[in-house]
Amino acid sequence: MLILLPPSEGKTAPARGRPVDLTALTRPDLADARTQVLQALQRASSRRDAAALLGVGASLREEVARNTNLTEAPTAPADQVYTGVLYAAAGLADLTGAARRRANASVRIVSALWGVLAPGDRIPAYRQSMGTTLPGVGPLARHWSSALGTGLRQAAGPQENAPGAQEGHPGAGQDVIIDCRSAAYLAAWKPPASTPWLTVRVVAENAGVRTVVSHHAKHTRGVLTHHLLTRPGRPPRTVSAAVAAASELVGSVLREVNHLPAAKGPDTLELVLA
């Protein structure tokens, strides 16, 4: 399986740690594409209109200013830097043993600044969203769509080569993709048409009417991620196996799980809240 996550808007800035090494991140072949975005972000963040350019409010001025020093800033593993609702529920930073190895092999974070990360990749805290258009780079989703190519795991970095990284055959191109990203990050990378692909939708039901939820959706996607990484047995490799694994949460977190096939694009893994 391959679990795709968005980054978190909420980040914890590391207090110490060596500066980022672009060639040590997952997909080191992206170093040039990362450098282009990193330099453009640093220039944009030093402008007077930086907050407006990056689409954030004045209250985040300090976080925007931090963007100007990203090449010297302390780093920590991505699963410690990202601290929003989804990541709190997924508990990636607290995983150990087989679950930690499974996360490093099977979880990929699609990022506006880094392109793609594994949970253990060391990064500084930053402020940038995929919906941004950076001077000198253009729309970031288009930039990364071109740079990432067809496979997020190709040109493997240290995480893929780590002991136990082959658990569940994560390098297999046809393993099911369980996609927890939002629309903006979906535009940055889509798998080849032949790949089994499930996008996760979380709904609540009231008086027979089902509606998509937002805050609870992030939490529930995190719960699903944690479950898939920590459940006993091998990771699911097919759509039916992924649906069955998600259905193990029915009765506690979920009321119902549905597989909604699509004629084009990803099928939907619908999670109905309990």
How far is residue 200's CA from residue 168's CA, in Å, rounded to a whole number? 21
Q: What is the pLDDT of residue 205?
A: 87
Q: How far is 128 from 110, CA to CA, in rounded Å? A: 12
Residue 152 is which amino acid? Answer: L
Where does residue 195 rank: exposed (0-12), middle (13-18), buried (19+ CB within 10 A)? middle
Those residues whose C-beta lies under 8 Å from the C-beta of residue 145, and which sit 6 or more positions away, are 187, 188, 189, 190
| Neighbour count for residue 153 (Cβ, 10 Å) | 22
Q: Tell me the H-state helices in the chain.
A: 31-45, 50-54, 61-66, 78-81, 85-90, 97-106, 140-148, 183-186, 215-230, 239-247
pLDDT at 168: 35
**Long-range CB contacts for residues 203-206, cutoff 8 Å, separation at least 24:** 203/270, 203/271, 203/272, 203/273, 204/272, 204/273, 205/255, 205/272, 205/273
Residue type, 2: L
pLDDT by residue, tens only, the chain of 274 residues: 999 999 999 899 999 999 999 999 999 999 999 999 999 999 999 999 998 889 888 778 888 999 999 999 999 999 999 999 999 999 999 999 999 999 999 999 999 999 999 999 999 999 999 999 999 999 999 999 999 998 887 543 333 333 333 333 333 457 999 999 999 999 999 999 889 999 999 999 888 888 888 779 999 999 999 999 999 999 999 999 999 999 999 999 999 999 999 999 899 999 999 8
Q: What is the distance between the alpha carbons of residues 181 and 226, in angstroms, rounded to a whole number?
A: 16
**Taking the complete model, does pTM exceed 0.95, yes or no?**
no
- Those residues with Cβ within 8 angstroms of residue 206's Cβ, 6 or more apart along the chain or in another chain: none
